[in-house]
Chain A
Amino acid sequence: MKQFLKGTFTAAAALSVLATGVIAEDTPKQGGTLVTVLSTNVRNLNSAVQSGIVTGYPGAQLFASPLRYDEDWTPQPYLAESWNVSEDGLTVTLNLAKNAKFHDGVALTSKDVAFSVDVIKANHPFKSMFAPVESVETPDDHTAVLKLSKPHPALMLAMSGQLMSIIPQHIYGDVPIDEVKTHPRNNENTVGSGPFKLVEYKSGEHVILERFDDFFIEGRPYLDKVVMRIISDPAARAIAYENGEVHLGAFESLPRIINRLKKVDGLTVTSEGYGGIGPLDWLAMNTTKGPLADVRVRKAIAHAVDKNFIRNALMQGTTDESRTGIHPDSPFYNADVEAYELDLDKANALLDEAGFPMNGGTRFALTIDFGWPGVKPQVEYVKAALKKVGIDVTVRASADFPTWAKRMGTMDFDMSWDTVFNWGDPVIGVHRTYNSENIAKGVWSNTQGYSNSRVDELMAMAAVENDMAKRTALYAEFQQIIADELPVYHVNTLPYHTVYSDKVGNPPLGIWGTSTPIDMTYLKD
């Protein structure tokens, strides 16, 4: 259904492009200053060594990557004008744009690509992105050949967005590879080959970018200047959108503010553009101890917690249902799994069957953790919902994120509300939660202590399967088992929304959202 809808939307979009083409009203206009917003300080502008959604936005403007993606998950040429994957899947050849230059005028060559892969492998947190890349050969300045130890379909998404920023070797090559993450040029005088160059980054105030006139795509970018203001208070950001001080912002996540902004004339509020990052909310359950070690108890909990209440009442209709660990926008999403509708009788029966009889209104006690105040309502609701089936839940607050991260990373918890991102291909952000070799390796590893050899096998096969149909089938089975064994009860997507004014043409709504170059974005009169 979702796929069908998406297809229809794409067709509708194509039609509207044709229509406007005839009227020729919406031709992008050159010039202007786009004022946009970041919700926190940027730790590091160099997206080759720093992941995360805050770095992604300025990072994708400063640094170009080999590929880019549109909204239907098809790779498009970017720094690589064309590419080729060999028959055995072990060689990936990139043909680079010949006129690509860095902001300091030095030409970008295949050496920079090889250097960047080394830097990312040594510093970036997502090791699985380039782990199978054994070497990068550079037969000439404009050809980079990635040699793989095994087929690696995840490489396509890993070469796009903020995940593979090509950084200049002549600037970052002066320190040992694994020290690039603290290089002074990461936040000052940062040089890339993206559509915009850095004018100034003032911590706590703004990042100012300016059009790069020698950008390798002729005629782009359209904007002269991009001002990224740092405004951390969501209410203040909302007012700034409303009175036109800010044209565009992403990752707005407070349901009340989203619904209020939807009613404002001249603003568009959309949840498009988050499929790549794939943010999911779920109820994590420690499968290694106590009653939760019994799958029937986990199923009973899923039946007692009403997803619809969370989505409609707590999140006020701003989120989608997610039934598995893969984001519903992903082509690999399989909605045909057990959905765990609200059913208290079934929950009670499962708990009886598991050997936890009701004893004076209570069966047993559990704790539930949460990592940040924003999800406290969900946690309080889970407590109230489980009371009805005789589970006495105590809410354990954490002083701050590190306190919670420590509890999760060491599996010192029963249940927890958790938020985890897909980061493109399932290999990058999904496998880590279910892989039995990744148990209790810090926060956002397999903190549930879940282990199933068939699941491990399916993930291993899907990781090397270049045939899209076969790969989809492997992930479909994987999702079915996960939904059946419930190490995690998947509830909803994060309510991330992008807000933009009517003045903005071509806002970044591809799968990577604002973690893509905004070279096609323009300001209308």
Chain B
Amino acid sequence: MQFLQTTLIRIFYAIVLLVAVLVLNFSLMHLAPGDVADTISQSMGGADQELLDRIRSDYGLDQPFLVQLGRYIAGVLQFDLGFSFFYNQPVTKLIMERLPATLLLVVTAQLLALFLGVFLGVISARKPNGLTSHFVTFMALFGYAAPVFWTGILLLIGFSLHLHWFPVAGMRDVTISGGFWVHFVDVLRHLILPMITLASIFLALYSRLARATMMEVLGSDYVRTAKSKGLSQRQVVYKHALKNSLSPVITLAGLQFSAVISGAVLVETVFSWPGLGTLAFQSIIARDTPTILGILFFSALVVIVGNLLTDIALRLVDPRLRGRS
């Protein structure tokens, strides 16, 4: 019951947050000089004043600010994210076309970073001053420190250009034909490099945190008890200690979800991954307000849902939290 109440309060806050995101972003976009009519004329190699004026009146850009904002909010309340000026398509359609690709990338990268990070953290916690531990720390920090587009291009040069293991860009090869599994393998081959690139940023965070909490847990009384009752090191670590050291990592993973999405913008651009990141980048360049607002709206939604799921996951691994609000 209490759980339900907390969840409902959170959902209420989420809606307030979403409206604030819309109003704030709309105002910020409006403050900047120039508008989408300029970028449309850029994409066409120039336009005269008459055409610019017509584009502005076609899209209602000649209306006062409050009228434009009011119209937009009214649209969103009716689940209409508007019409993209630059792509000549409904924003909802644009986003829905791109959403699956981004979700695939973000979720797989997050899972990879999480599992690999915890695994590496545990390994290095068992012998904190060993060679393996130092190696893991070095690699993780390297991934964290390196700019993500640089990592991406380096992987491309190594694995696509020289080894020919993976394709350069995109999500699938349109020249191949075959059944479900052929396409599955094809998407997987395209996914691996961007996934590793995106995961490399967060691997360090998770492995460092897992290492620290694991070391702390391994020094606690109940672990000593487990050891003295004759359990093997492996059983102690994976059955008893691991579960207790997970909750900070999961909290961090939830909080990092928004960072993963913003990281996806760069990764998608480098690998031409047809997701929301490339769309966001291009619409910001094109000053395509409805599309930018739509994407921000969706990102906010994804982050909020991600945080809610984290909350639930934490309650599942940590019984102490279940009764609390």
Contact residues of A with B, CB < 8 Å? 33, 35, 40-41, 43-44, 50-55, 125-127, 178, 181-182, 186-187, 202-206, 208, 225, 227, 229-233, 235-237, 239-240, 242-243, 245, 399-407, 409, 420-421, 423, 429, 432, 438, 441-445
Contacts and interface: CB of A to CB of B under 8 A. Distances in A.
Interface in B27-47: 32-36, 38-47
Contacts of A126: 45-46
Given A208-B174, A232-B278, A43 B34 contact: no
Given A41-B282, A239-B168, A444 B46 contact: yes
B87 interface: yes
B88 interface: yes
Contacts of A401: 34, 38-39, 42, 285, 287
B167 interface: yes
Contacts of A229: 169-170, 174, 272
Interface in B255-306: 269-272, 274-275, 278-279, 282, 284-285, 287
Nearest to A56: B45
Contacts of A50: 43-44
Interface of B: 32-36, 38-52, 54, 58, 86-89, 94, 97-98, 153, 156-157, 160-161, 164, 167-172, 174-175, 269-272, 274-275, 278-279, 282, 284-285, 287
A432 B170 contact: no
A513 to B, nearest CB: 14
Given A204-B278, A400-B287, A443 B169 contact: no
B42 to A, nearest CB: 6
B41 A400 contact: no
A402 B55 CA distance: 14
A187 B168 CA distance: 26
B270 A236 contact: yes
Contacts of B48: 125, 127, 438, 441-442, 445
Contacts of B33: 402-403, 406-407
Interface centre among B36, B50, B169, B279 (most CB of A within 10 A): B169
Main secondary structure of the interface of A (DSSP, over half): mixed
Given A187-B89, A236-B270, A239-B157, A52 B45 contact: yes
A182 B41 contact: no
A33 B87 contact: no
B103 to A, nearest CB: 15
A423 B36 CA distance: 22
Contacts of B169: 229, 231, 233, 236-237, 240, 245
A421 B45 contact: yes
Contacts of A187: 88-89
A421 B287 CA distance: 22
B44 A236 contact: no
A323 B299 CA distance: 49
A491 B98 CA distance: 41
Contact of A400 (B175, B271, B285): B285
Contacts of A41: 87, 282
A401 B86 CA distance: 14
Contacts of A233: 169, 269-272
B86 A442 contact: no
Contacts of B275: 204
A441 B49 CA distance: 5
B99 to A, nearest CB: 12
Nearest to B163: A243
A442 B274 contact: no
**3 nearest interchain CB pairs?**
A402-B34, A405-B38, A204-B274
A443 B272 contact: no
Contacts of A230: 272, 274
Given A203-B94, A245-B168, A442 B87 contact: no
A423 to B, nearest CB: 6
Contact of A429 (B34, B46, B51, B87): B46
Nearest to A51: B44
Contact of B282 (A40, A182, A205, A206): A40
A43 B274 contact: no
A35 B274 CA distance: 18
B32 A403 contact: yes
Interface centre among B46, B51, B98 (most CB of A within 10 A): B46
A182 B43 contact: no
Given A233-B272, A402-B34, A205 B170 contact: yes
